Each structure stands twice: as structure tokens, then as C-alpha cells.
């Protein structure tokens, strides 16, 4: 089973600043990685797939990068609606499909 590790667990950022979230896979997942955003009381929303492709309707301030075992989600200028928990998920070697533990982006 591929283990996905996200860090930091919590990221404190001021509105308008850049946020950089990391995700590491226990073995290579190539570019078969997705990122999700989840707000309290809501279902997750797909942000990025293929490590770097934005899903439909996702603003350009969200970008993904990386391949192999190291991945990054960058939010270039945090808006109030971006404060949420973010999860990475690999789909290279499955079952099982595996998620990281999440990074909470909170207001500094």
C-alpha cells in the first residue's frame, strides 16, 4: 500500500499571501496524483489531477507540481474562501486508493 504523507499538518497564512502544501508518497506514483479541498461540513472538491492539471472551474491561483514521490500544491494569493483542509490522493498503484492525512490552511 502506498502511504501518502502531507506536511505541514497546519499552515497559518495571511490573506493575500502564498501557501505551499506538500505531499510525499512512500513510493513513486508518477504523476497520478490528485488534490482536494474540503471546507467544514462540506464534501471534498477536486482541485488538481495528474499532479498539475486544474479541474474544471478551479481558479488559476491553484497550481500543482511534482512527480514521483514529491508533490506541491501552491495557492498563489490566499482568498478568504481558500481556508480549508487540503488532501492529496494517489491513483497510480491501487487498490487501495490512498489519501494523505490532510493539511489545514488557517488564517494567521
Partner 1 sequence: EVQLVESGGGLVQPGGSLRLSCTASGFTFSRYEMTWVRQAPGKGLEWVSYITSSGSTIYYADSVKGRFAISRDNAKNSLYLQMNSLRAEDTAVYYCARVAVAHYGMDVWGQGTTVTVSS
Of 18 and 94, nearer to partner 1 (C-beta) is 94
CB of 43 to partner 1, least distance (A): 4
- For residue 14, the minimal CB distance to partner 1 (Å) is 26
Check: CB of residue 8 under 8 Å from CB of residue 99.
no
Q: Which of 62, 71, 83, 87 binds partner 1 (CB under 8 A)?
A: 87
Asked if 68 is part of the footprint of partner 1 (rule: CB under 8 A), the reply reads no
Taking alpha carbons only, the member of 101, 95, 107 closest to residue 4 is 101
Locus of grid cell 488557517? 106
Amino acid at each position: 500500500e502506498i502511504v501518502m504523507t502531507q506536511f505541514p499538518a497546519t499552515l497559518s497564512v495571511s490573506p493575500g499571501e502564498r501557501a505551499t502544501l506538500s505531499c510525499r508518497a512512500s513510493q513513486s506514483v508518477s504523476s497520478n496524483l490528485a488534490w482536494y479541498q474540503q471546507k467544514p461540513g462540506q464534501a471534498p472538491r477536486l482541485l488538481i489531477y495528474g499532479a498539475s492539471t486544474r479541474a474544471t472551474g478551479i481558479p488559476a491561483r491553484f497550481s500543482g507540481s511534482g512527480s514521483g514521490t514529491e508533490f506541491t500544491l501552491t495557492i498563489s494569493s490566499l482568498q478568504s474562501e481558500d481556508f480549508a483542509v487540503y488532501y492529496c490522493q494517489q491513483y497510480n498503484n491501487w487498490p487501495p486508493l490512498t489519501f494523505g492525512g490532510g493539511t489545514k490552511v488557517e488564517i494567521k
